[in-house]
A and B are shown apart, each in its own frame.
Chain A
Amino acid sequence: MDIDLDPIEQFDAPIYHRYHATSSRAITPFLHAMKRGEILGHLSTATGKVLFPPLGACPESGEATHIPVILSDTGTVIGFTTVHLPIPGSKLVPPFTVANILLDGADQACSHLISECDIDEVAIGMRVLAVWRPAEVWNNSLENIEYFKPTGEPLVDIDALQQQCLAKAEQRKEAAKGGQDA
């Protein structure tokens, strides 16, 4: 008899919790730098690599990182996808392009949007430049950068770029070691 009952398909059980989180030791300087219009990464002395976004831990060595490195707001697209689905709650209107961008001076790619070009023009190796919101509205957020746009420079060979990055990282690693020895 019970199975003849109408199924209950909706049941409201709202959950509210209030949290008082603060940004961490690694993220706090990054957010302050964003407000100044600067992009801050971390140097890993264990690997010589410059990590961006800075999470406070080197994913290769597991060591804590805290040495700040100011990065350029130009970079190279090393991968991308064009999204044709709307994102619930997002202001973005499809289609739009999300790219993994290696900022100049960094060894880790970050994800951001590409705009001011046809989606068909986006390519691996494309040089891009950050488009900042007006300085008056800058706050402690990565949203100060609205998107990246092409610089018009020729495409970069990303395999060669990777080799250059690895060589530079090796130099920084040796320099860091030298600093410790001295």
Chain B
Amino acid sequence: MREVAIVAYAQSPQVRQEKILNEVEMLMPVIEAALTEAAMTMNDIDFVCSGSCDYIAGGAFSFVGAVDALGATPSKMESHVEMDAAWALYESWLKIQAGEISSALIYGFGKSSVGDLPDVMSQQCDPYYLAPLWPDSISMAGLQASALLATGRYTERDFAEVVVDSRRKAKANPAAQLSGDREVEALLTAPYIASPLRRHDCCPITDGVSVLIITDKSALPKTTKKPVYIRGIDHRMEAHQLGIRTLSESGSTTQALAQAKLQAGIEQFDIAELYAPFSPQTLILKDALGLDDQVDINPSGGPLAGHIMMSAGLDRFGMSFRALQKDEVTTALAHATSGPCLQHNMVAILEAG
């Protein structure tokens, strides 16, 4: 296996609504910031891959416009996934493993404020059995949260504690949308929006973009002080129909972790950045990954503190990269998810170089 390192990460501020700039305009300064951090120019980038969703933007082929931000004249080797940009990272990683490229710039963007995101997300369901019911993302997450409560493993108080922890940690993340000191008791008095979920249990609606640059070890920029190596990475998908799955568990996450551990030979993690857009999913993932209390979960605040739809998974890699720049952190687990109720999960093991 080739050694692939993250060398730069940049993110726009995570905001509830960007009123003026479009996705391309939001993207340009962030691409520039990532290239500057890596001490690279677009000429040093072999491949560009992005993740976004036209249903969110409300326009067909909206990602094609974003290519303008790349200086794509003359043309670039480019690809796009209609998935979270963590899968664009995976495609780029594969291309490096195949020996086709030695560097890639990956970006994800989402301007969810222009539409009704929970309703838009109902379009990911199959057209015969689910889509006619318009199952919005919050209702589906409510079903999952309820299934978790029914196991007796956790209570609504545990959900609230996840939120308190996220808001507190997000105080140290200047790009976070939601942060602060919250009290579990106060949170538990809030009304339900899709029981047992309360508003604070749900990720916010966020406008933003993120950019991450990876290179093969042989192509590391000379100025990179602390590259972060992707030692293991795998993703597994479960059945689409919610009724087929055991919603209180995440077997695909456990499987992906086992494979990533095999590749990495690393068993312990200092931190874990989990893409859990709803608070109970943090607990489901914690169990599926076998994380104990020694592991600092979502030190950035995680998706509950800011959730760029289509980039929040890539952000888990980016936030891990940032955490690994500190001396006391040497290994991280980055997780990304796609589909309703943690249908499809990616686990990566990262190590500071």
Binding site for A on B (CB under 8 A): 19-22, 24-25, 28-29, 31, 42, 55, 58-59, 65, 68-73, 113-116, 119-120, 123, 127-128, 131-132
Kindly state whether residue A18 has any CB partner on chain B within 8 Å.
Answer: yes
CB distance from B304 to the nearest CB of A (A): 25
A21 lies within 8 A of B114 (CB): yes
CB distance from B67 to the nearest CB of A (A): 8
B55 lies within 8 A of A17 (CB): yes
Kindly state whether residue A13 has any CB partner on chain B within 8 Å.
Answer: yes
A63 to B28, CA, bound (A): 7
Please name all residues of chain A whose beta carbon is closer than 8 Å to the beta carbon of B132 when the two chains form the complex: 13
A57 lies within 8 A of B20 (CB): no
The binding surface of chain B is classed by DSSP as helix
Please name all residues of chain B whose beta carbon is closer than 8 Å to the beta carbon of A28 when the two chains form the complex: 20
A22 to B22, CA, bound (A): 8
Kindly state whether residue A15 has any CB partner on chain B within 8 Å.
Answer: yes
Please name all residues of chain A whose beta carbon is closer than 8 Å to the beta carbon of B69 when the two chains form the complex: 57, 62
Binding site for B on A (CB under 8 A): 11, 13, 15, 17-28, 55-64
User: Can you pick out 19 interface pairs between chain A and chain B where the beta carbons lie within 8 Å of each other?
Assistant: A11-B128, A17-B58, A17-B116, A18-B116, A20-B114, A21-B114, A23-B22, A24-B24, A25-B20, A26-B25, A28-B20, A56-B24, A57-B24, A57-B28, A57-B69, A59-B72, A62-B28, A62-B68, A62-B72
A6 to B55, CA, bound (A): 33
Q: 3 shortest A-B CB distances, which residue pairs?
A: A62-B71, A24-B22, A19-B58
A26 to B28, CA, bound (A): 13
Which A-chain residue is minimally distant from B23 (CB atoms)?
A24
A25 to B29, CA, bound (A): 14
B20 lies within 8 A of A22 (CB): yes
Please name all residues of chain B whose beta carbon is closer than 8 Å to the beta carbon of A23 when the two chains form the complex: 22
Please name all residues of chain B whose beta carbon is closer than 8 Å to the beta carbon of A64 when the two chains form the complex: 25, 28-29
A18 lies within 8 A of B115 (CB): yes
Please name all residues of chain B whose beta carbon is closer than 8 Å to the beta carbon of A56 when the two chains form the complex: 22, 24-25, 28, 68
A17 lies within 8 A of B120 (CB): yes
Please name all residues of chain B whose beta carbon is closer than 8 Å to the beta carbon of A11 when the two chains form the complex: 127-128
A55 to B55, CA, bound (A): 21
B68 lies within 8 A of A25 (CB): no
Please name all residues of chain A whose beta carbon is closer than 8 Å to the beta carbon of B116 when the two chains form the complex: 17-18
With contacts A62-B31, A62-B70, A63-B71 taken as known, whether A17 is within 8 angstroms of B119 at the C-beta atoms is yes
The A/B interface has a contact count, at CB < 8 Å, of 73
Please name all residues of chain A whose beta carbon is closer than 8 Å to the beta carbon of B59 when the two chains form the complex: 21
The binding surface of chain A is classed by DSSP as loop
Specify which of A15, A55, A60 is in contact with B123 (CB 8 Å cutoff): A15
B73 lies within 8 A of A59 (CB): yes
Please name all residues of chain A whose beta carbon is closer than 8 Å to the beta carbon of B114 when the two chains form the complex: 19-21
A15 to B123, CA, bound (A): 8
Please name all residues of chain B whose beta carbon is closer than 8 Å to the beta carbon of A25 when the two chains form the complex: 20-22, 25
Which A-chain residue is minimally distant from B71 (CB atoms)?
A62
CB distance from B31 to the nearest CB of A (A): 7
Please name all residues of chain A whose beta carbon is closer than 8 Å to the beta carbon of B22 when the two chains form the complex: 23-27, 56
CB distance from B227 to the nearest CB of A (A): 24
**Assuming A21-B58, A55-B65, A61-B71, what are 7 further A-B pairs, CB within 8 angstroms?**
A20-B113, A23-B22, A25-B25, A57-B28, A57-B69, A60-B73, A62-B70
Please name all residues of chain A whose beta carbon is closer than 8 Å to the beta carbon of B119 when the two chains form the complex: 17
With contacts A13-B127, A19-B58, A19-B115 taken as known, whether A55 is within 8 angstroms of B72 at the C-beta atoms is no
Which A-chain residue is minimally distant from B31 (CB atoms)?
A62
A17 to B69, CA, bound (A): 28
Specify which of B68, B120, B127 is in contact with A57 (CB 8 Å cutoff): B68
With contacts A15-B123, A55-B65, A57-B68 taken as known, whether A24 is within 8 angstroms of B115 at the C-beta atoms is no
CB distance from B76 to the nearest CB of A (A): 10
A13 lies within 8 A of B65 (CB): no
A61 to B72, CA, bound (A): 8
Please name all residues of chain B whose beta carbon is closer than 8 Å to the beta carbon of A58 when the two chains form the complex: 71
Please name all residues of chain B whose beta carbon is closer than 8 Å to the beta carbon of A63 when the two chains form the complex: 28, 71
Please name all residues of chain B whose beta carbon is closer than 8 Å to the beta carbon of A26 when the two chains form the complex: 22, 25
Q: Name which of A11, A23, A56, A63 has the most chain B CB atoms within 10 A of its CB.
A: A56
A24 lies within 8 A of B42 (CB): no
A10 to B19, CA, bound (A): 40
Specify which of A13, A24, A62 is in contact with B25 (CB 8 Å cutoff): A24
A22 lies within 8 A of B25 (CB): no
Please name all residues of chain A whose beta carbon is closer than 8 Å to the beta carbon of B123 when the two chains form the complex: 15
A24 to B21, CA, bound (A): 5
Please name all residues of chain A whose beta carbon is closer than 8 Å to the beta carbon of B31 when the two chains form the complex: 62
Which B-chain residue is minimally distant from A8 (CB atoms)?
B128
Please name all residues of chain B whose beta carbon is closer than 8 Å to the beta carbon of A62 when the two chains form the complex: 28, 31, 42, 68-72
Specify which of A22, A55, A60 is in contact with B24 (CB 8 Å cutoff): A55
Which A-chain residue is minimally distant from B69 (CB atoms)?
A57
A20 to B28, CA, bound (A): 23
